[in-house]
Homo-oligomer: A and B are copies of this chain.
Amino acid sequence: MSMDARKFRILQAIIDDYILTAIPVGSRTISKKYETGLSSATIRNEMSDLEELGYLDQPHVSAGRVPSPKAYRLYVDQLLKQGKISEADVAGIREHFSDRVRQMEDVIGHAAQVLSSLTHYTGLVMSPKGVEMRIRNLQLVPVSAASALVVIVTDGGIVRDTVIRVGNDMDADALYAISRMLTEQLGGHTLSEARRLIAGASADVQRKQEMLSGISELIADVEQQQGKGKLAVVGTSNILNFPEYSDVEKAKSFLSVLEGKERLLGLLEQHQEMAFTVRIGPETGIPELSDCSLVTATYRLGDHQHGTIGVIGPTRMQYGHVLGVLGAMGDMLTQLLRPEKE
């Protein structure tokens, strides 16, 4: 016995119905609403086969059937093959981003917000992870008599700053001179190279040494921050709208995974080279998310950096719609974050 066209159509119908209603689907429902040519008894036979093949589960003997993760996998693969992105989704996103570009972090938070409100699931946006970022400019800005702000601009346009102590006798011009020198020596180098250069530099004066180590720390910070990637999570409470999470225990374990962002980051960092990723239930590898699906897409920042956006919802997710929204949003972000022409 194997999967034929009719079995596939029936499976599709079951999945569609279950995604819509969240209640186990019976043979009569399919016979009446979908495959009108066949009687419920026939459907029953087919469903029995599908169960044997591993595509359907039965909560208990007198309930209908529920799609298994394997079924969703088949369904999604089919969806990805035909690769449809709805025009409506693109329009919706364009509308939400009509206002002018703001800071990177705002964009990220905003994007997660839009994902959540368009899909009614939980929206995730991870900031780009820098691969081999290079320093473009480094500048010291006086803050008070004894301290200065170090600003680092990288080729990705990422800016990071911190306050360090400098000598008392540094005026703005002196700081600028130092900035020029540092930019000249470190510009074009990667972050780790820059740190090595600083470490190697002989510090003739104690004060200067102090300053350099402050800068070095900042660079390390940037490296680490970019290595990790910031994560915005919006719409966690949406999950409570779905009947499968009316059990408080389930909801709690779901929410605590989303709050402790580490594991989530780990998931988002996998398969970053793929345009789309769909992980269904157990495929996430996180037991607490075994009733959830995670759909991700990628956006680019410049040529070498890419970030990830995603949506988490119940396994019976509207995959088509979510894929559409994510695709459109990915394009939008790539376009929005394109570095100025050089």
User: Using a CB–CB distance below 8 Å, which chain A residues touch chain B?
Assistant: 102-103, 136-137, 139, 141-147, 149, 151, 153, 157, 159, 161-163, 165, 172, 176, 180, 183, 221, 234-237, 240-241, 245-246, 248, 251-252, 255-256, 258-259, 339-342
Contact = CB atoms under 8 A, between A and B. Distances in A.
Contact of A241 (B183, B252, B258, B259): B252
A340 B164 CA distance: 10
Given A103-B162, A163-B157, A145 B237 contact: no
A161 B151 contact: yes
A139 B137 contact: no
15 contacts: A103-B162, A136-B143, A137-B172, A143-B157, A144-B341, A144-B342, A147-B340, A149-B151, A157-B163, A163-B340, A176-B176, A234-B259, A236-B255, A237-B258, A251-B251
A137 B151 CA distance: 13
A82 to B, nearest CB: 35
Nearest to A140: B139
Contacts of A259: 234-237
Copies in the complex: 2
A251 B256 contact: no
Contacts of A221: 102
Q: Which 5 A-B pairs have the closest CB atoms?
A: A237-B255, A240-B252, A144-B342, A147-B340, A139-B141
Contact of A240 (B162, B165, B251): B251
Most buried by B among A103, A146, A165: A103
Contacts of A340: 143-144, 146-147, 163, 165
Question: What secondary structure prevails in chain A residues at the interface with B?
Answer: mixed
A149 B141 contact: no
A237 B159 CA distance: 33
Nearest to A105: B105
A235 B252 CA distance: 11
A262 to B, nearest CB: 13
Given A172-B180, A236-B255, A259-B236, A153 B149 contact: yes
Nearest to A247: B248
A157 B151 CA distance: 14
Nearest to A159: B161
A226 to B, nearest CB: 14
A151 B259 CA distance: 33
Given A103-B162, A137-B149, A176-B176, 16 more contacts: A136-B144, A143-B157, A144-B339, A144-B341, A145-B342, A147-B340, A157-B163, A161-B161, A163-B340, A234-B259, A236-B255, A237-B252, A237-B255, A240-B251, A248-B251, A251-B251
Given A151-B151, A255-B237, A142 B146 contact: no
B141 A153 contact: yes
A114 to B, nearest CB: 14
A153 B103 CA distance: 16
Nearest to A162: B103
Contacts of A165: 340
